[in-house]
A and B are shown apart, each in its own frame.
Chain A
């Protein structure tokens, strides 16, 4: 069973704060790393699919970096807004596997 860890488990910040979360995954046999945002009462929504070591992706105020050699990815949110409140999931796909293994997620709450 592949081990995908996310930290912190939860985070409470004030509007305007910048924040970041970590996703750790096996450093061998890497194929892809996915990030999803899951708002309460909605369905998970894809943010990024990252494949190359050193990859950086950006979508508005959200960006992500990838280090496949050491097995981690960071998700950054610049100037958090209340609408950013959600659970952020990462999912790892290993080489030779056709499916994703998800972490437990980081629950972000942004207060006005």
Chain B
């Protein structure tokens, strides 16, 4: 059973809309991550956080932004969605410590028309 939750699972929306993808975890993990994955491609890290008020950009440049106001919550926002943002977005968290595994949510499949 999941201790990390993403909503919505699927979203089809028009160009220009503001979108927020939600991610919450109940494990008390300090570290949280957002990945983007296109079909047949690897997971690319777009944002991560080491704790409240900490956010960093990942390896893949993204027009999205994130916030970390509470430990358990790490939402991702697109101010003005474009078709190029169509992708799968996965949220993950991990405990503090060098070699902790990451725990993933079920993902959000985003389609921008």
Q: Contact: A43 with B107, CB < 8 Å?
A: yes
**A contact residues, range:** 20 to 34
Known contacts A102-B43, A105-B42; decide if A46 and B99 are in contact (CB<8 Å).
no
Contacts of B92 in A (CB 8 A): 44
- Choose among B4, B33, B42, B48 the residue with the greatest number of A CB atoms under 10 Å from its CB: B42
Q: List the A side residues contacting B4 at CB < 8 Å.
A: 43
The chain A residue sitting closest to B92, CB to CB, is A44
Q: Which of B40, B90, B105, B106 contacts A104 (CB 8 A)?
A: B40
The verdict on A42 contacting chain B, using a C-beta distance below 8 Å, is yes
Interface residues on B, range: 20 to 34
Q: Do A42 and B106 have beta carbons less than 8 Å apart?
A: yes
| A99-B106 in contact given A32-B99, A44-B90 (Cβ < 8 Å) | no
- The answer to whether A51 and B99 touch across the interface, beta carbons within 8 angstroms, is yes
- Interface positions, chain B 25-65, Cβ under 8 Å from A, are 33, 35, 40-45, 48, 50, 58-59
Across the interface, which residues of A come within 8 angstroms of B48, CB to CB? 98-99
Asked whether A100 and B98 contact (CB < 8 A) given A1-B59, A43-B104, A44-B90, the answer is no
On chain A, the residues within 8 Å of B33 by CB distance are 99
A81 at the interface (CB under 8 A from B): no
Report if B84 contacts A (CB, 8 A).
Answer: no
Of B92, B99, B103, most buried by chain A (CB within 10 Å of CB) is: B99
Contacts of A101 in B (CB 8 A): 45, 59
List 22 A-B residue pairs with CB atoms under 8 Å apart, sorted by A's residue number: A1-B59, A31-B98, A34-B101, A36-B101, A36-B102, A42-B106, A43-B2, A43-B105, A43-B106, A43-B107, A44-B90, A44-B104, A46-B103, A49-B101, A98-B48, A98-B50, A99-B33, A99-B58, A99-B59, A102-B35, A102-B42, A104-B42
Give B contacts to A, CB under 8 Å.
Answer: 2, 4, 33, 35, 40-45, 48, 50, 58-59, 90, 92, 98-107
A-to-B contact residues, CB < 8 Å? 1, 4, 31-32, 34, 36, 41-46, 49, 51, 89, 91, 98-105
Given A44-B90, A99-B45, A102-B44, 4 other A-B residues pairs in contact with their CB atoms under 8 A = A44-B102, A49-B99, A49-B100, A100-B102
